[in-house]
Structure 1
């Protein structure tokens, strides 16, 4: 009788177990990829699971998506495959079915644990059980003697090592990464149109000018070299760039950028070079990748800190939005300021993180302007020291926005964008500030610009998109964006996803995010809507959230008043 495999119910039980595991739950994209390939397979649609369909359906890529130029599906599938292996090797699985993603394929395999274990045990037992009694007896005697000699040998080896060999030296922490350096190489015209030679040559100069505005990148003749080519494909300029390590002549990074259509040649190539500068200068880009990887491996940071080490801590906090990461970053910058009190970048970064920390720990009744007096003064001083810095003006906008001075914040972020229009962090903040000020279309323009430029945008870039989709009642889009936000925002990400889930008939998301919202201590202290109102103005969006949360089954009293984890009302004097 042929093996029909485990039932859909058992597979979905295994799927739910995986989706509840923190390793996958903290990455909404990977969770949706896993759900997509499993459900398609269970529905008998495994033949349609291709890189293109995944890119369009899961990762929101356009209909003209090209798997050859955009590796997002391969990259995310590799991440998911690794996580699945880690989960099952860790021994924490309880479901009787395992879900695996075979190498080189996107169609999952469902393996029944009991059957697999039984087959493995049978294979191991067959040679032994088939042996004669005499051979079996001899086998057992030899096995016992071998085990005894092995134990004696291991014991003697341990004694010899302990007595005669010197102690193992402590692990040496690798060198602290330095601020990345980049050399700008040549860009070649492969369009076959000599009239474009000058425009293509100008890319290197435009790139140099744009990257010089990023304070965390150094340009020079030494270090990795970025170069590239320009071709015309279907009437559109395609810029391909690579970073090459001159010491090994190996490629460290590559990207493909499609220039906009409907513009002059010069404008199209200028836009493409600015997108390249945005990717190179971004915190999630290739220049900071090794530094950020190094930071994740450190259990204790070396002393004294360098400015770039503090920058790495800032980047890590901005993506995670965790309190301990903010504290570590602030402490690092304060050590820099102790010896260099006029370090404007350190002043601004520390002020921005402290402002977030103050707002995060505050309640709706607190006066945030008064609580952030020191941060406002510090970032104002930083602006006076370095009025040409886009990053510092951005931090001023962040501080002002967090205390509710949105109009002043928009003025500061406008200056930051003027100083460095290739800084997509600035563009994303600009979009959010405009949007929460009621300037929806303009805010979405800046927000979408940042998401289009950065291939693997940090979670907080998606916040404005989530807000706007909910406002326009595009609930599936709101869920997609909110799940991105949720990996770095424990309030708005889960709340927007939960509010949109009933309208999208996603009971699975209600089951996933309802406990996260109900267990949030800040919501419990203030009520959900008053807490959210500390960060967003448009009442229409707050009303959409209110309606959605009621549909999701949240008790009405949790929306506006303090509550206990079980939803019952509690006195407002309680604290987290």
Structure 2
């Protein structure tokens, strides 16, 4: 029978297939239109199927596919050119869509499992179950079911949105209204010492892991005090000494303002991931227990939140930790190095969810800021694929949810439903993390136009972090410049005086002209010219590229026109 497929046990060898049936299935998939208008994806499907039918499926690698299907040269490098991974991912999704459209039951199915380029063939539907007579239904019965399903879908969507809004409102509550005291904890980067060139990466990475783990407790707010500890209740600091094959991690918890050491610990360990993981989890747990005992926190708020690292090697682990210093000081060199090593990590360890999340963040920066663009690559599609894998293998990790959140609002096609879903999950898991509150509030206000809840979340971040970065103040300044009084605009932009970011300079320029501060207006206008925005047209273009909420963009453009007119009238 056409399309017959005989599956034998694995011990007897690979499955025996009917090549004619598979060829007919390929033709049906191509005829469905799901592979796009071009020939490339159809050619890729035929190539993969032909290699599998010929018994060469085990040798399917990115290099061979790039040369044979996509006409790449012999210098092709999968670490810098993601065309194979991207196109196979799109083909995989197209095959999933095709299976969902009830294809011909007499033909075998074709799928490409995650983590491989090899196609897998499944038995025809008619070979797996007998044909059963179907009772006839009145024509309008089906329409009634569709209408009922639509009503249920809308009701579920409305309920989910209600639950998400409840999470946002809860996170925006003033700290003074909470039923427990929120402790401010300053986590300082471990001081790196020793002869290993990787000591600094490991020290900074482990400190960042401490921040993530401790931020999961609603009664702890991890803040950055730039080393002076002003406003913090406690501080965590220490040293990491990497000498030869031995590590020493020394940590101490300091009560403030008296600077009394309330807990200290030194651990000698081997340079293995298991030992590093055990120590990191132990330090975080001991800190939580010590703070809970001191503050009288209820036992149900003291929970374990650490997740184990996957089975990987130390080199891959250090590569993933490299995303933390990169996010603090992003530049082209660090971006290139990180993208190269992360690509190799996920190829070797496809279930390493946090590595996928880090790679997604790197691809996002390529798409948003044009960092190290790859010829022929689509960074947005690569970011989407990486985030999809991260959500599968590390769904509650902060890096995963941050990457998913940014993708939902920064991609060319925004998805606010996904944004709300990831934002609510982040705030459920990390409700007192100032950076998370500010990130979500900023996008909710300036991009979606939900100023009430967005500004409330930012206000909570500013209340928790005693010395917040200038980025926390940008959206309140945007709102004041666009919709507030002259005095409000001047007061909010005063927080941006240490920044030379383009949007900060623009806001300061507009606020200065509104306050008729000619000296400040001249200075900020000169600084704008130094970064390439020497005329009104370029400033207007820059605002449009920000993709703000339409009402905000319109108001900002009007304010900018007024500012330039004021400046020209004074000349």
TM-score by length of 1: 0.43
TM-score, with structure 2 as normaliser: 0.43
